[in-house]
Amino acid sequence: MTQYILRRFLLSVPVLAGILLVTFAMARLIPGDPCRSMLGEKATKGICDRWNHAKGLDKPVVAQFGIYVTDILHGDFGESLQYGKPVTQLLVERLPMTIELSFSSLLFSMVVGIPLGILSAIKHNSWVDVTTMVGANIGVSMPVFFLGLMLAYVFSLLLKDTPFWLPPSGRVSPGIANNPFHEVWGLTIPAAGPMYSVFFFLARLNILNALLTGNWALLKDSITHLILPSVALGTIPMALIARIARSSMLEVLGQDYIRTARAKGLTQPMVVLKHAFRNSLLPLVTVIGLSLGSLLGGAVLTETIFGLSGVGRSLYDSITARDYGIVQGFTVVVAMFFVVLNLIVCVSRSAHSPAVVPESPRASFWF
């Protein structure tokens, strides 16, 4: 197992190197001039020359790439041309929003998708199965921007005078106190440095901060604001998880040891949940792990539609502003998350695959 993990880790190194190269090149291929995007169209050539020299953009592209890779190896993702702040600081500010949105979307997709897939497998070829799979196909085909706008229209406008009203944008309602947990606990931390970044990052996770401080108003408000964007972003992985769960369950339910379990008089819930579902988890683990990676990178439209200041919306704004620092830094970090998640999924599959499917019918009845 150690050799497998080491081999997978070494294979991830050229992948990350390729991501760095492609991201750097694509950022430079964005049409437009960063100087005029920052200073306006009336900026003269002399002003832009001095600005490019100050930002290091007048050097050869190869030299810029070498400096960029060297800085990343030292934990420095550069500086934002638009905000004049280190990209690392902006990541600490914006990444918590995207993480909360991604995990809440994944939770929605699992809570809804897995039961639907199991139910479709149990009711194979019935109207329940057909209805669920048609809905899953519609969910896979539904564009995020369309679904997001429709959800905001229905729950924020049509249902505005009902108990089902939900906020259409923002992360927290005005007036809701959101004091960092380390201040509430009276902890003394440095005003700068890695320790401050860690505490600030954790405090920016509103749900976690609300739980740590006992701020139930913040907790309720944060969850309420996450419902619509989580449903919009999680619909596609939910439909995919439902289809994979159905397919995997159908395959397992046809195995001999499942028929033996039923012949021994085990109840339907025991057969489905204790034996069939447990042995159908491998494909689901893979899909769920990769779905989380895609959710982290696919939140651009969702955050833009619902007015959330996360990594996705920052990437959109930075692309339009030709802000190379944010485009490169945020894309590389999201790609690193995806690579790490993929590595975890592969390791988990390798660790559990020999034990998930029993070698004999008797093995499946172990409690």
Q: What is the pLDDT of residues 321-351, one digit of tens each?
A: 788 888 888 888 888 888 887 777 777 766 6
Within the chain, residue ranges assigned H as helices are 2-29, 34-39, 45-55, 61-73, 87-122, 127-141, 144-153, 181-184, 194-204, 206-213, 216-253, 256-263, 268-269, 281-297, 300-305, 311-320, 324-356
Please classify residue 209 by burial: count the beta carbons closer than 10 Å to its beta carbon, then call 0-12 exposed, 13-18 middle and 19+ buried.
buried
Per the domain annotation, does 295 fall within a domain? yes
Number of domains in the chain: 1
Q: What is the DSSP string of 118-148?
A: HHHHHTTTSHHHHHHHHHHHHHHHS-HHHHH
What global pTM score does this model have? 0.83
Give the C-alpha separation, 208 to 202, whole Å: 7
Per the domain annotation, does 17 fall within a domain? no
Per the domain annotation, does 297 fall within a domain? yes
Over range 4-13, report the average pLDDT: 79
Q: How confident is the model at residue 364 (pLDDT cuts 50, 70, 90)?
A: very low
Rg from Cα positions in the chain: 24
Over range 6-25, report the average pLDDT: 83
Supply the CATH number for residue 154's domain.
Answer: 1.10.3720.10
CA nearest neighbour of 80 among 12, 27, 41, 6: 27
The predicted structure's pLDDT at residue 81? 79
Residue 5 DSSP SS3: helix
Beta bridge partners of 86: 79
Q: How confident is the model at residue 363 (pLDDT cuts 50, 70, 90)?
A: very low
Per the domain annotation, does 226 fall within a domain? yes
Q: How confident is the model at residue 298 (pLDDT cuts 50, 70, 90)?
A: low
Over range 163-179, report the average pLDDT: 87
**C-alpha separations of 225 from 14, 169, 228, 272 in Å:** 39, 7, 7, 35
The predicted structure's pLDDT at residue 226? 92
For residue 325, what are its two tokens?
């620092």
Give the C-alpha separation, 299 to 33, whole Å: 26
Per the domain annotation, does 283 fall within a domain? yes
Beta bridge partners of 79: 86
Per the domain annotation, does 67 fall within a domain? no
Predicted confidence (pLDDT) per residue in 177-213, tens digit: 888 888 888 888 877 777 888 888 898 999 999 999 9
Q: Is the pLDDT of residue 105 over 80?
A: yes
Which of 108-122, 250-264, 293-307 bottoms out in mean pLDDT, i.e. has the lowest? 293-307
Question: Could you list the residue range(s) of the whole structural domain that residue 158 is in?
Answer: 87-178+215-321
Per the domain annotation, does 248 fall within a domain? yes
Per the domain annotation, does 344 fall within a domain? no
